[in-house]
Chain A
């Protein structure tokens, strides 16, 4: 009796999973190709350290973003749960990713783009960190090791992209894969938990037609090919930071 009920429960669960899988397969071919590119990740066994063989990066084509990137920001919010700060002032609130509106006053030409951590090759936030908490992982992902972050916020000052924010209030019910807590700095980590599982970052999944994600070190990866064909600008390229996030159409 008990076993039957468990089986029934499992069956329902598997059926629900099937629905999810079916929804995933209707994604356009363009997206699927990228999914396979990111699917190369699991060749790394999870008991092995990451190497600098790969460098993760993405190309965001803002001409194909109909909402200026708001959907990508929402997906990030949902994934990491960073909109849960009711006690903070507006300028204190977390912003792992935000939509920036740009307007040329002379011509009136305007556009919007999503701005998050640009995952620089030479990150200023890592240069200034007094404890080593602000770090670049071997595969190019820039993140905060909150275990040793003392909350001094030098990295927030140093970042030219205003990508980092500070948690001002006690939090509960964080996501199990994305720990966040009071007194530490945080920023986009390119969904490191997803990349380690071989999945695409949440924002890339939310805008499959506009964003190409992949390995910048591999000249044959989709993102490298797209960069070769389309170019792709860095924000503040004058700083020579060699960012991992590139834009087309700005």
Chain B
């Protein structure tokens, strides 16, 4: 009796599982071979210590370059930060906003008591409707990692080296 019941139960569970597996759903991060948070930190546009201390300066510089001069490079663009680090929805499928504690930016800003107003105007999550492939895969050429596509900086001239190694007399110490 019980064995018959358990057989029926098992069969229905299997059927349900098969049904779920067969459903075509939007691919998850794992399906798309997207990066985990740790990999993202390794592939970020600047080394981790730089991005932690200087991201606000980079964003400030980028915003002026974009607004005034029309420069739209991706390496320090807020939109690309969002595309890479913030998921479009929460675990339960509802839209993720800056006010939510699982928002990538909020996780730190809440801890350090930082109030920012970027997201009063800017979109705080990827615009999936506009671009479904907003995120690039790990190690792809679309990345904006600081070692990608950056030509070697010109070697400092002897005068520049001198300026650094032998500060001028009277210069502020």
Contacts and interface: CB of A to CB of B under 8 A. Distances in A.
B33 A170 contact: no
Contacts of B79: 176-177
A184 B121 contact: yes
Contact of A135 (B68, B127, B133): B68
Contact of A9 (B27, B64, B120): B27
Given A2-B31, A173-B95, A145 B68 contact: yes
Contacts of A170: 120
A94 to B, nearest CB: 13
B132 A180 contact: no
B65 to A, nearest CB: 8
Interface stretch (A41-49, A66-74, A199-207): A41-49
Interface residues of B, number: 31
Main SS of the interface on chain A?
loop
A143 B70 CA distance: 12
B3 to A, nearest CB: 33
B97 interface: yes
Contacts of B31: 2, 5-6, 9
A47 B70 contact: no
A162 B127 CA distance: 31
B100 to A, nearest CB: 12
B145 interface: no
A137 B68 contact: yes
B97 A137 contact: no
B136 interface: no
Nearest to B132: A13
Nearest to A8: B24
Contact of B122 (A47, A143, A145, A174): A174
A100 interface: no
Given A147-B63, A175-B127, A176-B127, A49 B70 contact: yes
Nearest 5 Cβ contacts at the A-B interface = A181-B121, A49-B69, A176-B127, A50-B70, A179-B121
Interface of A: 2, 5-6, 8-9, 13, 44, 46-50, 135, 137-139, 143, 145-147, 170-177, 179-184, 192, 196
Given A49-B70, A50-B69, A145-B67, 6 more contacts: A6-B27, A47-B71, A171-B120, A176-B130, A192-B70, A196-B70
